[in-house]
Amino acid sequence: MKYLSRWSRRVGLFALALYCAGAAAQWAPTKPIRLLVPYATGGSGDIGLRIISEKLSAAIGQPLVIDNKGGAGGVIGTELGARTLPDGYTWILGSDAPFTIIPHLRKVPYDPLADFEPVGLIASLPLVVVINPSLPVKNMAELVALAKTRKLSLSSNGNGSSAHLTAELIKREAGIDLLHVPYTGIAQAVTDVIGGQVDMTISSVGTVLQHIKSGRLRAIALTMPVKLASLPDVPSLIEAGYNIDVSVWIGLLVPAKTPKEVTQRVSAELTKVLETPEIRERFANLGYVPGGGAPSVLGRRIEGDYAKFGKVIRDANIKE
């Protein structure tokens, strides 16, 4: 009977845990939610967020008010998010620069690993290595072979950018040197590759897809091991024999100490939205790989990229 009594108590506790978990998943906001975007409108993260915002708003049951607070590479808006009341009514759009790159280049007024709670990964954005078609190469092996006979130039959207750090990884893995030509934005960096002033660049797919389709740029490799419908014949760097897996990520976060029932509910609804055919099609057209999953998926991504990019920046002595 004692054994039965203990078992009954365990069953009761288990049932209570299930009830609490169910109750937690039913967090229901009672007023509009501020969605803090630390960038100006029109960037890849802002676009991805706006694509899902209507469906996510309907799922949560409250309007999502997008508030763009750009500046300092995302640091200004990200700091604002870190200092916001953790009541569930402010969400932050996170991305690689202010969370996993800039903190290694300069002091930032927040801790990217301690001042936020991950909610969910919205998408990963593969980068693509593109060259001027006049270069006599059609794949990574030929590009590396050419780079060993003469120094090639590579443009990027700035020192410490994802493109720059990916180039450093390629240099290390392939045993080559590249002349880095930093720009203040990716548009001019791409334009000068098309014009032949620079040999190559690394860019988000959406930025250069039209130029690849028109033949003004040649795609050599994707930086993420994924097959894109828009570039079905372009292999990844891993397929080409280089242990490199890099992509830009965008995700939802909230200030640290936000109740767990908030992150659990929003994460679950975000995952459902990202699984809808409409959203998957729209993301595919932009070269985005949908995210989703538990908050821990985004948490592991941030921690992994923070460590990876920190090492690259230190090893290459990269400064802003």
Q: Are 32 and 63 in contact (CB under 8 A)?
A: yes
Q: Are 193 and 217 in contact (CB under 8 A)?
A: yes
**Helix (H, G, I), strand (E, B), or coil: what is residue 197?**
coil
Q: Give the span between the Cα atoms of 4 and 71, in whole angstroms.
A: 63
Per residue in 268-313, pLDDT tens?
A: 999 999 999 999 999 998 889 999 999 999 999 999 999 999 999 9
Per residue in 125-179, pLDDT tens?
A: 999 999 999 999 999 999 999 999 999 999 999 999 999 999 999 999 999 999 9
Amino acid at position 167, single letter: A
**What is the Cα 77 distance to its own chain's centre?**
17
4 band by pLDDT with thresholds 50, 70 and 90: very low
Per residue in 42-70, pLDDT tens?
A: 888 889 999 999 999 999 999 999 999 99
pLDDT above 90 coverage of the chain, percent = 85
Q: How far is CA 144 from CA 137, 151, 167, 203, 242, in A?
A: 9, 10, 12, 19, 11
Average pLDDT for residues 95-110, to the nearest whole number? Answer: 97
On the 0-12 / 13-18 / 19+ scale of CB atoms within 10 A, 230 is: middle
Per residue in 19-32, pLDDT tens?
A: 444 444 478 999 99
Residue 248 has pLDDT above 50, yes or no: yes
Q: Are 284 and 261 in contact (CB under 8 A)?
A: no
DSSP conformation letters of 133-175: TTSS-SSHHHHHHHHTTS-EEEEESSTTSHHHHHHHHHHHHHT
Phi, psi of 250 (to 5 degrees): -130, 140
Residue 75 has a CB neighbour count (10 Å cut-off) of 18
206 band by pLDDT with thresholds 50, 70 and 90: confident
**Helix (H, G, I), strand (E, B), or coil: what is residue 219?**
strand
DSSP category for residue 195? T
How much is the pTM? 0.87
Q: Are 166 and 236 in contact (CB under 8 A)?
A: no
Q: Tell me the domains of the chain and their CATH numbers.
A: 31-122+247-315 (3.40.190.150), 126-222 (3.40.190.10)
